[in-house]
Every structure is written in C-alpha cells, then in structure tokens.
C-alpha cells in the first residue's frame, strides 16, 4: 500500500539537484526555494528548442539570472536539430493534431528535455532532478515518465506541488527574494519552442471570454494582416518538408521561414477546450503558425498519394500516436510500433503543396506528386474521359445490396410490431 509520504520526496536534504530551468517565474522561484528547503547545490539546465525567435541573446540572460540566483553551474544545450529531426518530423508524418486541433508543440519537446537532463545529471553525478510542472498538467507526466524510464534510479522533484503556492503567492515570493519578473510573466504563464507557443493563466482561464490580444506575442491579428494573400510552395520527400518556394532548406531553417511568414498573416492562433491526461477540462491557447501550415500541407499530400483504405486506417493510427505523445508516453513501445506503419506510408509522400495564406487562414489550394492517385483522363467531365460510366449499372446494385436488404428487413420488423 502506498502512503502519502511515498508520493513525495523521500528525504529532507539533498547534496545536488539539477533543475530544468526556463528563466521564468516558476523555475526562478524554484531555484531559490530548492536551496532553502533542501540545502542543496542546484545546477540548472536550459534546452534550446528554438524558442528565442526575437532575441538570441536570451539564453545568455537566462544563464546569468540562474547564477545570480545561486546556481552552481548552468548548462544551455542546443537541441534544435534533434528536436526537428526526431520529434517534429515524426509529428508531421503522423498529422499530429490532438483532438483534431492542437499540434503537440509543447508535448513533443518535453521528452527531449527530460532525456537531456538525465544525460547531464549522470555526467555531473547528480541523482535528483527537478522541474517546474504543476500537478494539474500534462507536462509532469511527459517529463517524469521519460526521465524515470531512462534513469529509474533518479528521483524527480516537483516543487510546484510541494510548496503549494499559487501564482499570486509566487509573485510575492519573487519580490521578497529580489527575483526579477518579466512583465509577461506577471500575467501569463508561457512556453515556447520552434514549433509553437502556449499561454495560460489570468483571463485565459475564463473560457467564456475571448483571449485578449496581449496574450499573443508572435502572430499579427488576422484583421491587421496584409490585404493580399501569399502563397507558399512546400516540397516534401518521404513525408518530410525539404523545400520552400523552390529553395532547398534544412529542417530548422525551413520551419523558421514558415514561422515568420505565417506570423505575418496571423496564421496559427488556436484556442480550444482540451481534455488533459489527468481528467481536467482546460481552456488552452496557442500560436502555432509553422506547425499548422506544415501539418495541413503534409496531410493533403498524403491523402493525394494514398488509397482511401490507407487514409482511413492511417487516421486511426495517427490518432493513437497523437494521444500517446500528448499523454506523455513517448517511451511506450507502441509509439515506435505505430511509427513503423506511419513511416512505410510516408515513403511515397513526395511532391509539392501550395498553401494560400490570407487573414489568419492557411488553405491548401494545389498539390503535385508523381505518386498521386489521380488520373485526369478518368476524372474529367469532358466527353474525352476514359472512364466507362456504363460500369455504374452493375456497380450500384452490388455496392448497395446489403444496405437495401437491411432496410427492407428492418421495415418488415416494424410492420410486424404494428
């Protein structure tokens, strides 16, 4: 039987702790609190997942802030290429939209952060990890499950659960300890990476109220977007985007370019009621311009080159893959099992897709592929069509046979009851 003590930290003092540090309100308060509470030497780690679009010097600022608050040593690790190749591209191949809406922008970054944290901890002989996830969200599952799968011997602390401070109390704590707080952090809790941005807290917790404009940081409002549409021609090879407007690009650069263009047209603003893994219904808001554009383009091309049976079955596979990743089970063997099928299907997802961007909308308007299951000679309504319409005389009676028989039988039963 598990006691409440078993669910929390197993001892009161630690020698060394590695904190996954973003530089925001939560983890900055945490850095101070861990030193006070456990008497530990705290090391900090920040993952560069491409989140600093506007200010590349931000990582240096985060390091300086961590050391000023008492960090013994700080690690900033550039994980952008790994993030794109091993996490974002599989998401594109799986058309990863949780509940048909959310493109897993935050979800796919968490396992990578946990894995890198374990590597650093092992190298520095640290046996305790800590992170800034609450007990209400999905990120705690994503990080804890991944870290404990890669290092079962390591303990993972969740200070936000232990200290039981609300956001209002965190701000007071920060002021008492002279911890700098950004203007944005005073109002919203945000998370960013190359694939998207999320914002929570304050008025965003009221689903009956439209998200205010100040909760957005990347995208221009659709109303203020250009009055002229812009077209993106995206090239794919085996389901992976490899070119933009005839320029051959590596993953990180391609995503950044699509991001910039999408932001300028107000693309990727999402808000919806999300079902979290732990059972809570949560109002979530995102800015995901690159993710939305690329998934839409990929999904359209994939549909074009696959049979209806492949498309139908893959939609089931995609949904299960997406649920696993969203719920924090990246390490589950089923994910790789599903990816075996996903990768096989994507071998023929080669070609180009043209996406029209206009006033917050991203619409696929054209596609081209040598593997497209489309024949103009068959599909055209012109007289020259090679499709033999007389086949319909035999096809329709056979195709609808059981449906007709079922309908007749059902009505017989109704009449008998009458």
Please state, in angstroms and rounded to a whole number, the distance separating the CA atoms of residues 20 and 338.
Answer: 30
Q: What is the pLDDT of residues 273-327, one digit of tens each?
A: 999 999 999 999 999 999 999 999 999 999 999 999 999 999 999 999 999 999 9
Same domain, 125 and 231: no
Query: C-alpha 219: how far from its chain's center?
Result: 17
Q: What is the CATH number of the domain that holds 242?
A: 3.90.1260.10
Same domain, 251 and 147: no
Q: What is the pLDDT of residues 182-232, one digit of tens each?
A: 755 568 888 999 999 999 889 999 999 999 999 999 999 999 999 999 999
Same domain, 233 and 328: yes
Contact 155, 170 (CB under 8 A): no
Tell me the C-alpha to C-alpha distance, in Å, between residue 88 and each of 178, 229, 318, 379, 409.
38, 27, 14, 36, 51
Same domain, 305 and 174: no
Same domain, 256 and 282: yes
Same domain, 306 and 342: yes
* Last residue within a domain, chosen from 133, 156, 188: 188
Provide the domain limits for residue 318.
196-368
Query: C-alpha 253: how far from its chain's center?
Result: 18
Same domain, 53 and 146: yes
- List, in sequence order, every residue forming a beta bridge with 243; answer none if it has no partner: 235, 248
* Last residue within a domain, chosen from 327, 346, 368: 368
Query: How many domains does the chain divide into?
Result: 3
User: Rg of the chain's alpha carbons, rounded to an integer?
Assistant: 25
Same domain, 87 and 175: yes
Residues designated catalytic: 26, 110, 139, 189
* Last residue within a domain, chosen from 171, 188, 205: 188
Same domain, 268 and 171: no
Same domain, 10 and 79: yes
Same domain, 26 and 93: yes
- Residue with the bigger pLDDT between 164 and 288: it is 288
Q: What is the CATH number of the domain that holds 165?
A: 3.40.50.620
User: What pTM was estimated for this model as a whole?
Assistant: 0.92
Same domain, 346 and 389: no
């Amino acid at each position: 039987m598990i006691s409440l003590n078993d669910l929390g930290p197993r001892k009161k003092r630690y020698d060394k702790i590695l904190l996954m540090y973003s530089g925001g309100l939560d983890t900055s308060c945490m850095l101070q609190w861990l030193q006070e509470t456990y008497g530990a030497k705290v090391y900090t780690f920040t993952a560069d997942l491409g989140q600093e679009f506007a200010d590349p010097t931000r990582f240096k600022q985060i390091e300086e802030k961590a050391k000023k608050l008492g960090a013994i040593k700080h690690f900033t690790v550039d994980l952008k290429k790994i993030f794109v190749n091993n996490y974002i591209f599989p998401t594109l191949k799986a058309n990863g939209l949780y509940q048909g809406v959310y493109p897993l922008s935050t979800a796919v970054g968490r396992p990578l952060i946990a894995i890198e944290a374990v590597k650093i901890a092992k190298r520095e002989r640290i046996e305790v990890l800590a992170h800034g996830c609450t007990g209400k969200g999905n990120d705690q599952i994503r990080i804890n499950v991944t870290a404990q799968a890669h290092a079962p011997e390591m303990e993972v602390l969740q200070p936000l659960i232990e200290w039981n401070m609300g956001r209002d109390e965190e701000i007071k704590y920060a002021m008492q300890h002279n911890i700098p707080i950004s203007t944005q952090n005073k109002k919203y809790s945000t998370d960013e990476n190359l694939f998207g941005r999320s914002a929570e807290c304050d008025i965003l917790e009221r689903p009956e109220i439209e998200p205010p404009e100040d909760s957005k940081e990347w995208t221009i409002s659709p109303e203020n977007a250009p009055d002229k549409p812009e077209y993106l021609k995206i090239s794919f090879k085996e389901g992976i985007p490899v070119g933009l407007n005839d320029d051959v690009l590596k993953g990180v650069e391609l995503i950044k370019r699509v991001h910039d263009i999408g932001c300028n047209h107000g693309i990727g603003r999402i808000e919806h009621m999300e079902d979290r893994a732990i059972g809570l219904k949560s109002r979530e808001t995102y800015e995901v311009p690159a993710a939305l554009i690329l998934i839409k383009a990929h999904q359209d091309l994939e549909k074009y080159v696959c049979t209806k049976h492949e498309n139908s079955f893959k939609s089931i596979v995609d949904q299960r893959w997406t649920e696993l990743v969203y719920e924090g089970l990246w390490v589950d063997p089923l994910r790789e099992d599903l990816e075996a099928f996903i990768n096989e299907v994507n071998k023929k997802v080669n070609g180009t897709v043209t996406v029209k961007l206009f006033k917050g909308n991203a619409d696929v308007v054209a596609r081209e592929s040598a593997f497209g299951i489309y024949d103009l000679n068959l599909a055209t309504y012109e007289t020259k069509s090679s499709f033999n319409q007389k086949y319909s005389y035999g096809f329709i009676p056979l195709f609808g046979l059981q449906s007709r028989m079922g309908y007749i039988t059902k009505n017989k039963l109704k009449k008998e009851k009458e």
